[in-house]
Structures are given as C-alpha cells and as structure tokens.
C-alpha cells in the first residue's frame, strides 16, 4: 500500500498544472468621426497562440495595416475601424472561439459621446460606463445594443462570472483551502479560519488593484505554492500526533497566507483588465465572484467528506496521510515550475 502512496503522489505531481486563467480581450475605444480604435489581446499559453480572429459586420470598414506586438506573454494587435451608424447594432463575432474553451472579454469604452442613429435621428447621450460582455464557446458573438445604459450591469455580471470561474479553475487556491479543511477539525474554527482567509485576500486584492501595493508576480506565485507545501506538512504532523501551532491557530496562518493569495487574485484581475471608469465596480464584482466560488467549493468538499466518512473506516491509519502527500507533491512541482520563471 505504501508503494501505491508513492505512485499516487508522483502521478498527481507530474500532471498537476496550476491554472492559467487568462482570457482574451477585445476593446473598442471611440475616436472621432465614427472611428474606433480596436485592441485585440490574446494570451500565449504553453507557447501556443490560439487561432482566434475578430470579425465585424458588413457595415464596418477596417483600416489596415494592423500593428502587432508581444506584451507580458500575450499577442496584441491594434487597428482602426469606422461605421456609418456608429456602434448601434454592431455585430462582433470571434472566429475559432466555438469549441475552443477560451473566453473573450469584449468591452466598448463609452467615455464622451455615444451616437445612436436610429430612424435617421441622431441623438447624443453622455455615458461614462463601459459596456462589458463575455464571449465564449456557447456565445461567440455579440450585438451591441442601441441603449448602452446597461453597461454597469454588464460589468457586474461579467466580473462576478470571471471571479467565480477563476477560483474554481485556480487549483493552487483550491488546494490551499482544501488543506485548511483537512487541517481544521472543528467546524466552528473552520468557519473562522475561512473568514480570515477571505478577509486577508480581499484586502490585498483591493490594495494591489488600486496600486496601493505592488509585488512582482513570479515571487508571489512561488510563495503561494510554498504556502500549500507548508499546510501539507502541518497535516502530516497532526496525523502523526505531534503538536502543531498551525492546528491551534489556523485562522492566523490563513490570514497571513491569505494576503499572498490576494496578490495572486490581483495578478489575475490585472491580466483580465479593469475598465478605468469602472474600477471599483469591477473590483467588487470580481471579489464577489471569488467568494461565491470559494464558498461553493467548501460546501461541496464538506458534503463529500461527510458522506464518505463512514466508508473508509477500515482502511489503515497511514492512508489518511495520502491527501497531504498528494497536495504537498503537487505544490512542490508548482514551486519548481514557478522558480524557473524568475
């Protein structure tokens, strides 16, 4: 059975890959005379550029050439378009998105005047919001509405969705929370511990996003992996009947490491991008999504553990350490992977 433990840890450490949650983004910025600047940013994942292309409707005229550059692991293109009736009714589609598993954040910056030429009557309306929409495999196109006052709701829904998806795709953050669940036996103490973790990463998420703090991404990601290794080791110590300060004061450890995890969330939010005139709404919405995703994960894990509790009572005592070894080996693989990125 101990050989099985070794094989399991090697398997999960070799195939455990931390999340790379970086959606593509398409931004339209109004200029003058019904002209718009298009910025198309596609992340390069595993040294590969996804085959995604932007396509506008027949009423849109595109001006070439397109300027291209590489920025922070992403491929960025910029060019100009014009549309006689402005953006009202504009259809935008992403070729290659269907079935790809990628997501695209589509934004229309509406600072200044937005012109709606409906029924040949021009009406100008001031709007400081940003229209935001998530395009994905199920919905690879979008039609810009005639009334863009729904923009604020679009930002809220979009960023709640992005936050929810990020935490559920973020294996490193979920492994940390899972390790906390395994370490803390008391449900009351667990609630307090998760609350402190939430409070801590909410603080640094806001501080980094608002440029009050700055820490380089690679060291932060490496320390996050190290925090998971630390908790895995503490779980093994507890199972061996040795005293553990972390088990006595898990809320303090969760708060300290939660500050680091919040910086990781801020890095993800930075990769996604935040509309300048909707920073607080995007930040709040993303954080709400993260907390909803985290709460969902905790409830699912606790439910499964409760149902499986009486089914594994006949197993040898040492098998209870298997999750800790799997968590520790996987996090060690991530640590080495992230140290290489320095």
pLDDT in tens, 288-297: 999 999 999 9
- CATH number of domain containing 285: 1.20.1250
Query: Are 39 and 113 contained in the same domain?
Result: yes
| Residue 161 in domain | no
232 near 176, Cβ under 8 Å? no
158 near 137, Cβ under 8 Å? no
Dump pLDDT digits (tens) for 97-113.
888 878 899 988 765 43
Tokens of 307: 């149902």
Q: In this predicted structure, which of 1-5, 36-40, 230-234 has the lowest mean pLDDT?
A: 1-5
Dump pLDDT digits (tens) for 294-309.
999 999 999 988 887 7
224 near 256, Cβ under 8 Å? no
| Residue 162 in domain | no
- Looking at the DSSP bridge assignments, the partners of residue 142 are 92
Query: Are 207 and 139 contained in the same domain?
Result: no
Strands (E) across the chain are located at: 24-30, 35-43, 53-56, 60-71, 74-83, 91-95, 104-109, 113-118, 121-126, 130-135, 141-143
CA distance 87 to 189: 53
Query: Are 129 and 188 contained in the same domain?
Result: no
| Residue 72 in domain | yes
Whether the upstream peptide bond of residue 65 has omega within 30° of 0, thus cis, is: yes
Strand pairing report for 104-109 and 24-30 = parallel
Query: Are 280 and 217 contained in the same domain?
Result: yes
134 near 165, Cβ under 8 Å? no
pLDDT at 153 over 70: no
pLDDT at 125 over 50: no
Place of tokens 């409070």: 199
Query: Are 206 and 294 contained in the same domain?
Result: yes
Q: How many CA atoms lie within 13 A of 281 on its CB side?
A: 17
Longest dimension (CA), the chain: 79
User: Looking at 121, 151, 181, which one is the last position of a domain?
Assistant: 151
Query: Are 218 and 289 contained in the same domain?
Result: yes
| Residue 158 in domain | no
| Residue 103 in domain | yes
Query: Are 260 and 288 contained in the same domain?
Result: yes
Average pLDDT over residues 232-260: 91
Average pLDDT over residues 185-198: 91
285 near 159, Cβ under 8 Å? yes
Which residues, including other chains, have CB under 8 Å from residue 146's CB and lie 6 or more apart?
Answer: 88, 89, 116, 118
| Residue 157 in domain | no
pTM score, whole prediction: 0.76
Query: Are 250 and 108 contained in the same domain?
Result: no
Query: Are 178 and 146 contained in the same domain?
Result: no
198 near 295, Cβ under 8 Å? no
Domain limits at 94?
A: 24-151
| Residue 163 in domain | no
């Amino acid at each position: 059975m101990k050989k099985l433990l070794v094989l399991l840890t090697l398997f999960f450490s070799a195939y455990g890959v931390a999340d790379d949650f970086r959606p593509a983004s398409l931004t339209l910025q109004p200029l003058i005379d019904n002209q718009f600047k298009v910025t198309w940013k596609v992340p390069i994942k595993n040294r590969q550029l996804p085959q995604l292309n932007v396509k506008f409707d027949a009423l849109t005229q595109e001006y070439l050439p397109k300027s291209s550059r590489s920025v922070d692991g992403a491929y960025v293109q910029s060019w100009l378009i014009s549309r006689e009736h402005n953006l009202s009714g504009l259809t935008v589609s992403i070729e290659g998105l269907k079935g790809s598993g990628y997501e695209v954040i589509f934004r229309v910056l509406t600072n200044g005047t937005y012109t709606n030429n409906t029924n040949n009557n021009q009406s100008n309306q001031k709007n400081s919001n940003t229209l935001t929409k998530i395009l994905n495999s199920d919905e690879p196109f979008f039609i810009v509405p005639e009334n863009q006052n729904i923009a604020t709701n679009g930002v809220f829904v979009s960023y709640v969705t992005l936050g929810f998806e990020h935490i559920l795709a973020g294996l490193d953050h979920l492994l940390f929370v899972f390790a906390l669940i395994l370490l803390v036996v008391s449900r009351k103490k667990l609630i307090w511990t998760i609350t402190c973790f939430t409070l801590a990463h909410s603080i640094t998420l806001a501080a980094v996003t608002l440029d009050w703090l700055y820490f380089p991404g690679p060291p932060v990601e490496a320390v996050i992996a190290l925090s998971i290794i630390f908790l895995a080791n503490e779980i093994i110590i507890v199972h061996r009947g040795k005293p553990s300060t972390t088990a006595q004061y898990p809320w303090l450890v969760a708060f300290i490491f939660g500050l680091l995890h919040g910086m990781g969330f801020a890095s993800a939010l930075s990769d996604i991008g935040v509309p300048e005139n909707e920073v607080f709404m995007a930040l709040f919405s993303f954080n709400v999504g993260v907390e909803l995703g985290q709460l969902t994960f905790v409830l699912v894990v606790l439910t499964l553990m409760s149902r499986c509790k009486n089914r594994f009572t006949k197993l040898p005592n040492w098998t209870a350490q298997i999750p800790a070894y799997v968590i520790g080996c996987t996090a060690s693989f991530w640590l080495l992977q992230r140290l290489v990125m320095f």
